[in-house]
Amino acid sequence: MMGLLELEKLTKEYQRGGRYFNAVNHVSLTVEPGDFISIIGRSGSGKTTLLNMSAGLLRPTEGTVLFEGNDIHRLKDKELSFLRNEKIGYVPQGQSLLSNFTVFDNVCIPWSLFRREGDVEGRVFILLEKVGISHLADSYPKELSGGEMRRAAIARSLINEPQLLIADEPTGDLDVETTAEIMRLFSRIAQEGTAVLIVTHELDTLDYGNKTYSMDAGKLLPHTA
């Protein structure tokens, strides 16, 4: 069976101070529908670089990213934008909400980018409810805590019912209890058939995934406890 997402020898070379190095070094990984994959690794090990290439946001130096069998880095800009908008939910590392938009409008953005029909308002509220911030729908990002902004970004990533959810340290600013809630939410999403791929610093979030890897100096290895 073909995976939903297949990374083949994915590599990103960077140059700094006249020295070349592989931030991501020949990484291969298959993600199936319903998988919940966690990647743990130290700061600077290449996690964000790997996710950005997997989501089509960053072009690899070498290797391929196949989504449903298509090499996404060979798509035209518009085709790639559409595929990303339609099929891939992305929660970036750090604050990513638009400051002039309310939480409600931020969550709507991916839905509004392409013409769509249906009850988006109802869906936004269901998602805000799921992440526990429906009372903040009309608030602006600057009125939110770091964890509340993170939860809004998670709701936004789910608005188009993606087949693949990619999240870069989604529980970075969250307390233990909220972290557990978010991880359980991701488990449910995976059980409903969406593939979930997250990177994390925290060991305690690893319990939720069905496959765990660690990243070390650009190399991806199965994680052993």
Ligand X SMILES: Nc1ncnc2c1ncn2[C@@H]1O[C@H](COP(=O)(O)OP(=O)(O)OP(=O)(O)O)[C@@H](O)[C@H]1O
State the residues that interact with ligand X by CB under 6 A. 14, 16, 23, 41, 43-49, 93
60 binds, among ligand X, Mg ion, none (CB under 5 to 8 A by kind): none
CA distance 100 to 68: 36
Terminal Cα distance for the chain, rounded: 29
CA distance 48 to 51: 5
**For residues 31-60, which are near Mg ion according to CB under 5 A?**
47-48
Decide: 42 and 65 in contact? Cβ < 8 Å.
Answer: no
106 binds, among ligand X, Mg ion, none (CB under 5 to 8 A by kind): none
In this structure, what DSSP letter does residue 141 have? G
- For the CB of residue 39, give the shortest distance to ligand X in the complex, in Å: 9
- For helices 103-112 and 146-158, the axis angle rounded to 10 degrees is 30
**For residues 85-144, which are near Mg ion according to CB under 5 A?**
93
- For the CB of residue 31, give the shortest distance to ligand X in the complex, in Å: 18
The residue among 47 and 87 lying less far from Mg ion, judged by its C-beta, is: 47
The encoded tokens of residue 185 equal 């939410």
**Residues whose CB falls within 8 Å of the CB of residue 22, separated by 6 or more in sequence, listed in order:** 11, 12, 13, 14, 61, 218
The encoded tokens of residue 4 equal 């939903």
The residue among 11 and 93 lying less far from Mg ion, judged by its C-beta, is: 93
160 binds, among Mg ion, ligand X, none (CB under 5 to 8 A by kind): none
Q: Which residue is nearest to Mg ion (CB)?
A: 48
**For residues 75-94, which are near Mg ion according to CB under 5 A?**
93
The residue among 47 and 87 lying less far from ligand X, judged by its C-beta, is: 47
The residue among 57 and 66 lying less far from ligand X, judged by its C-beta, is: 57
CA distance 90 to 155: 10
The residue among 159 and 220 lying less far from ligand X, judged by its C-beta, is: 220
